[in-house]
């Protein structure tokens, strides 16, 4: 699959300068190995870091190791800068936007404006199923493996009036963001990782890397080839069997991003409660099990995967069919009789559930 390039991305955004130092878990793992068996030796350099709350892994193929390692270091630094703007530290741009809700606009980094604009575009496309203003609900739901408490409908009902993407005001000229309602909050957890992946692809490309696989917690962007004549293969994860995949897609230049109900979840009285919230009900979205979106832009794919998950397979797939350069696999239903929808552009894709 070779997708149209991310149109929203601009190189300026890759160098967001604002933001203060954050406590970032840094676990550098460097692996260099040679892949034999093809016509000529192929050097693979692979490094990972704990960033954005997940393991971020970059694999570069067919480059001189020192050049590959330098490019990967630059890439992780750019992702750290994004994390400082979009993360949960008190002085991140997002925290400052939230602290000033209903009071005054806040000047933020260009990259934050760009992410919020894409969020608003996705909110419009998904009719509010994707909505970064779901954030005040996070105080009621704890999907981090903590309490596992299910809030009452009354508790949730009190928070719902604070939600509403139409109350996010953005002025791209002055890079200002304003949440019009007091008590409003945003959370970019459903989109920022996608932007980080786009930034990674841009930084690697600018450093002269021709072949790379960027895997940030299972969300992927690949460009070039794994080895001469053989493409990068991206697995679609089995939503109910950890470590297994249901199929592979060859990717030449594009993103494959998945939202699933298995990511952060807990069980209560036999029912699964997970981290993708339907902003209309305030409860975890019920219609999907996992949604994989393919697009030339990882940020677009990330936001759409979350939004389509909330919309469910029918509405979600009809949206996908309307969007040029976007494909999807949507899994819903119980494990013993799943429904798997595959968009028309992926005809012929073989999946084994
Ligand atoms: P993803 O794995 O990309 O689907 O992102 C899941 C994350 O998106 C959650 O952990 C929340 O931070 C955020 N999120 C949950 N529900 C929504 C929603 N309806 N719209 C936008 N973001 C959401
Ligand atoms: Mg997402």
Residue 283 counted as domain residue:
no
Question: Which of 36-40, 54-58, 169-173 is predicted most confidently?
Answer: 54-58
Average pLDDT for 250-267: 93
Ligand 1 in reach of 131 Cβ (< 6 A): yes
140 phi and psi, to 5 degrees?
-90, -35
Query: How remote is the CA of residue 62 from the centroid of ligand 2, in Å?
Result: 31
Residue 86 counted as domain residue:
no
Answer yes or no: is pLDDT of 20 > 80: no
Answer yes or no: is pLDDT of 40 > 60: no
Residue 271 counted as domain residue:
no
How would residue 29 be classed by pLDDT, with cut points 50, 70 and 90?
A: low
Ligand 1 in reach of 89 Cβ (< 6 A): no
Q: Name the residue among 279, 259, 283, 255 with its Cα closest to residue 271.
A: 283
Average pLDDT for 118-145: 94
Pick the range with the lowest mean pLDDT from 51-55, 251-255, 260-264, 337-341: 260-264
**Cα separation, 252 vs 232, whole angstroms:** 7
Phi-psi region of 303 (alpha: psi -120 to 50; beta: other; left: phi over 0): alpha
Q: For atom 23 of ligand 1, which residue has the closest CA?
A: 190
**Cα separation, 301 vs 76, whole angstroms:** 21
- Residue 353 in tokens: 């559930």
The pLDDT of residue 56 is 98
Cα 113 from chain centroid? 17
Residue 197 counted as domain residue:
no
Ligand 1 atom, smallest distance to 123 CA: 20
| In contact, 206 and 235? CB cutoff 8 Å | no
Ligand 1 site-directed mutation target among 306, 310, 315, 328, most atoms within 8 Å of CB: 306
Answer yes or no: is pLDDT of 19 > 70: no
Per residue in 287-336, pLDDT (tens digit) is 999 999 999 999 999 999 999 999 999 999 999 999 999 999 999 999 88
The pLDDT of residue 142 is 83
Q: For atom 12 of ligand 1, which residue has the closest CA?
A: 189
Residue 345 counted as domain residue:
no
Specify the CATH number for the domain of residue 169.
1.10.3980.10
Ligand 1 in reach of 302 Cβ (< 6 A): yes
Q: Which has more confidence, 35 or 58?
A: 58
Ligand 1 atom, smallest distance to 143 CA: 10
The mean pLDDT value of the chain amounts to 89
Query: How remote is the CA of residue 57 from the centroid of ligand 2, in Å?
Result: 18
How would residue 30 be classed by pLDDT, with cut points 50, 70 and 90?
A: low
Ligand nearest to the CA of residue 293, numbered in listed order: 2
Residue 344 counted as domain residue:
no
CA-angle at 294, arms to 293 and 300, nearest 5°: 75
pTM of the model: 0.90
Residue 2 counted as domain residue:
no
Range of the domain at 130: 98-179
In percent, the amount of the chain with pLDDT more than 90 equals 78
Ligand 1 atom, smallest distance to 130 CA: 20
Per residue in 146-174, pLDDT (tens digit) is 678 899 999 999 999 999 999 999 998 88
Q: How many domains does the chain fold into?
A: 1
Q: Cα dihedral angle (348, 349, 350, 353), rounded to 10 degrees? A: -130
Q: For atom 13 of ligand 1, which residue has the closest CA?
A: 190
Ligand 1 in reach of 306 Cβ (< 6 A): yes
The pLDDT of residue 143 is 85
Residue 202 counted as domain residue:
no
Per residue in 186-237, pLDDT (tens digit) is 999 999 999 999 999 999 999 999 999 999 999 999 999 999 999 999 999 9
């Amino acid at each position: 699959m070779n997708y149209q390039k991310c149109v929203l991305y601009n190189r300026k955004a890759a160098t967001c300068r604002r933001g203060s130092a954050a406590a970032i878990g840094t676990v550098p793992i460097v692996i260099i190995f040679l892949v034999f068996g093809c016509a000529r030796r192929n050097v693979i350099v692979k490094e990972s870091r704990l960033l954005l709350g997940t393991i971020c892994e970059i694999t570069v193929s067919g480059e001189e190791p020192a050049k590959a390692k330098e490019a990967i270091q630059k890439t992780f630094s750019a992702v750290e800068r994004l994390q400082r703007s979009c993360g949960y530290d008190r002085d991140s741009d997002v925290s400052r936007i939230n602290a000033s809700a209903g009071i005054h606009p806040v000047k933020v980094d260009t990259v934050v404006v760009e992410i919020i604009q894409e969020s608003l575009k996705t909110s419009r496309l998904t009719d509010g199923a994707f909505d970064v203003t779901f954030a005040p609900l996070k105080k009621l739901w704890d999907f981090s493996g903590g309490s596992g408490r299910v809030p009452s409908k009354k508790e949730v009902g009190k928070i719902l009036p604070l939600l509403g993407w139409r109350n996010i005001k953005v002025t791209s000229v002055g890079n200002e963001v304003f949440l019009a309602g007091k008590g409003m909050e945003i959370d970019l957890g459903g989109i920022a990782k996608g932007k980080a992946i786009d930034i990674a692809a841009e930084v690697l490309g600018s450093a002269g890397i021709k072949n790379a696989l960027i895997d940030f917690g299972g969300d992927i962007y690949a460009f070039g080839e794994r080895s001469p004549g053989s493409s990068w293969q991206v697995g679609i994860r089995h939503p109910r069997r950890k470590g297994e995949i249901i199929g592979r897609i060859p990717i030449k230049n594009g993103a494959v991003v998945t939202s699933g109900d298995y990511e952060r979840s807990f069980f209560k009285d036999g029912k699964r409660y997970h981290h993708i919230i339907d902003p209309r009900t305030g409860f975890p979205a019920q219609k999907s099990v996992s949604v994989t979106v393919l697009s030339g832009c990882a940020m677009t794919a990330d936001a759409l995967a979350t939004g389509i998950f909330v919309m469910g397979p029918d509405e979600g797939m009809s949206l996908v069919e309307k969007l040029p350069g976007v494909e999807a696999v949507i899994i819903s239903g119980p494990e013993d009789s799943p429904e798997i929808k595959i968009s028309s552009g992926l005809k012929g894709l073989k999946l084994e559930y």
